[in-house]
Amino acid sequence: MKIRTKITLLFTFITATILLLFASIIYYSAKEAREKEFYVALEKEAVTKANLYFNAKVTTQTLQDIYKNNRVFLNNEVEVAIYDTVFHLLYHDAVEIDAVKETKQMIHDIYRKGELQFEQNDWQVVGLRYPFQGKIYIITAVAYDQYGYKKLTLLFRNSAIVFIISILFIYIAGRFFSKKTFEPVTEMTEKAKTISATNLDLRLTGNGNKDELSELAGTFNEMLNRLENSFDAQKHFVSNISHELRTPLAAIIAELELSANKNRSTEEYKTVIANTLQDAKKLVKLSNSLLDLAKASYDPAEITIKKVRIDEILLDARQQVQIANADYRIDIHFENDSEEDSEMLVQGNEYLLKVAFANLFENGCKFSPNHRCAAAISFTNARISIQFSDDGIGISAEDRMNIFKPFYRGDNKGYAEGNGIGLFMTEKIIRLHKGKISVSSLENRGSRFTVELPHG
């Protein structure tokens, strides 16, 4: 069931319940009031007739004539009877009609209780004690409240009609307004259905108001922006990778074709082998970097995270870089005196942190004429900070803004070989560890990368 229908039905149901409760209370109050008022009217009529009979000494015949006359014109005349205490009938408005037959028991009860009120087949009966000249008489008054019942029936009928019309109206109004309210949602759904990977540039249009639906449209559009950006980045990434792969492969093919064309000297073959070997190594490095990048892009839940020692990882990273590049020199300093092991611990993945640190070491050395760089470790209770510094060629201000983007290589790229994945991957790894990386640099003076990692 659609929310629109659900809301309309719920709204109608709630209103119907309230209306029904309201109408029932009014109807039952009116019913009670009618009954009470009619008993009072009956009592008045009974006493008046008794007064006429006993005090004014109006004859039985006259009283009965008045009664009959009233019956013809008013149609709901009260029928009064007067008894003495031993059930002896003194007066009766119309014995031949006698809607409610008095019994000896009834007269006795009235005498005993002083007053009696009850209903018989919708006829109301009142019995009273009437003292006159030292004797007690019993008067009964019986009548059917024709007007009262008519009024009640009318009230019931009108309430029912108003109830049905109101509910119908509320249902129709509910449907109309919920349709109006949900119109933007329907539009959004239709628009969202047309958005796919091929037209991610489409955006939802809000209703122009500052309401929840506009907010939803805005949030959805922001999500589309992010998706579009990440799709674009993905596309660029793939084309960059294929470019990076193609360049050394094309070089290898060209070298091999050239040497296969005709016989070459041993020296020339050696050069070709050396060149192709270098290109093959570049390819291996690139594929290793891509593999590491894939690992760094895993969901954190899929990566083994445990307490690791930062100093040990730094030493391992240094060793790895120095094995691959025998002329690189890397110094590691400890700024504070470490007293406890826990000060060197972070929650992290050893392999990925080693990749990140090795990358920073390698960059520091390869962009420095003296191939030297250093790492300085300091810590607080909350975090460990590592500064990777070199006295190398530095990074321009513009490049500093972009070096963490995938495949970005700075103006100084001619100085050393690379593929532009390193810092992108390093930043990803540090972020994965809930840490931060920042850079400061002066051209021709050197660069400093600061990595901050929480202890976890």
Per the CB < 8 A criterion, the answer to whether 308 and 317 are in contact is no
Q: How far apart are CA 103 and CA 10, in angstroms?
A: 56
Per the CB < 8 A criterion, the answer to whether 438 and 449 are in contact is yes
Q: How far apart are CA 393 and CA 442, in angstroms?
A: 8
Q: In what order do the strands lie in the sheet with 446-454?
A: 329-334, 372-379, 383-390, 446-454, 436-442
Q: How far is the CB of 333 from ligand ADP (least distance, A)?
A: 17
Buried b (16+ CB within 10 A) or exposed e, 315-350: bbbbebbeeeeeebebeeeeeeeeeeeebbbbebbe
Q: How far is the CB of 204 from ligand ADP (least distance, A)?
A: 37
Binding site for ligand ADP (CB under 6 A): 359, 363-364, 367, 390, 392-395, 399, 403, 408-410, 412-413, 418-424, 447
Q: How far is the CB of 444 from ligand ADP (least distance, A)?
A: 10
Closer residue to ligand ADP in complex, CB, 206/394: 394
Closer residue to ligand ADP in complex, CB, 79/427: 427
Q: How far apart are CA 185 and CA 178, in angstroms?
A: 11
Closer residue to ligand ADP in complex, CB, 102/244: 244
Closer residue to ligand ADP in complex, CB, 17/297: 297
Q: Report helix, strand or coil for 330.
A: strand
- Closest by CA to 355, choosing from 389, 313, 310, 325, is 313
Q: How far is the CB of 292 from ligand ADP (least distance, A)?
A: 12
Chain residue whose CB lies nearest ligand ADP: 418
Q: How far apart are CA 202 and CA 194, in angstroms?
A: 8
Closer residue to ligand ADP in complex, CB, 174/394: 394
Q: How far is the CB of 429 from ligand ADP (least distance, A)?
A: 12
Closer residue to ligand ADP in complex, CB, 221/402: 402
Which tokens is 225 given? 């922006």
Supply φ then ψ for residue 393, to 5 degrees: -80, -10
Closer residue to ligand ADP in complex, CB, 390/452: 390
Q: How far apart are CA 265 and CA 259, in angstroms?
A: 10
Q: How far apart are CA 48 and CA 366, in angstroms?
A: 125
Q: How far apart are CA 417 and CA 290, in angstroms?
A: 16
Q: How far apart are CA 34 and CA 27, in angstroms?
A: 11
Q: How far is the CB of 360 from ligand ADP (least distance, A)?
A: 8
Closer residue to ligand ADP in complex, CB, 78/425: 425
Q: How far is the CB of 445 from ligand ADP (least distance, A)?
A: 11
Q: How far is the CB of 245 from ligand ADP (least distance, A)?
A: 15
Closer residue to ligand ADP in complex, CB, 107/293: 293
Q: How far is the CB of 302 from ligand ADP (least distance, A)?
A: 24
Q: How far is the CB of 405 from ligand ADP (least distance, A)?
A: 9
Angle between helices 146-194 and 3-54 (to 10 degrees): 170
Q: How far apart are CA 10 and CA 384, in angstroms?
A: 58
Q: How far apart are CA 387 and CA 361, in angstroms?
A: 11
Cα–chain center distance at 346: 36
Q: What is the DSSP string of 249-302?
A: HHHHHHHHHHHHHS---HHHHHHHHHHHHHHHHHHHHHHHHHHHHHHHTS-GGG
Closer residue to ligand ADP in complex, CB, 131/414: 414
Q: How far is the CB of 244 from ligand ADP (least distance, A)?
A: 10
Closer residue to ligand ADP in complex, CB, 207/385: 385
Q: How far apart are CA 227 and CA 220, in angstroms?
A: 10
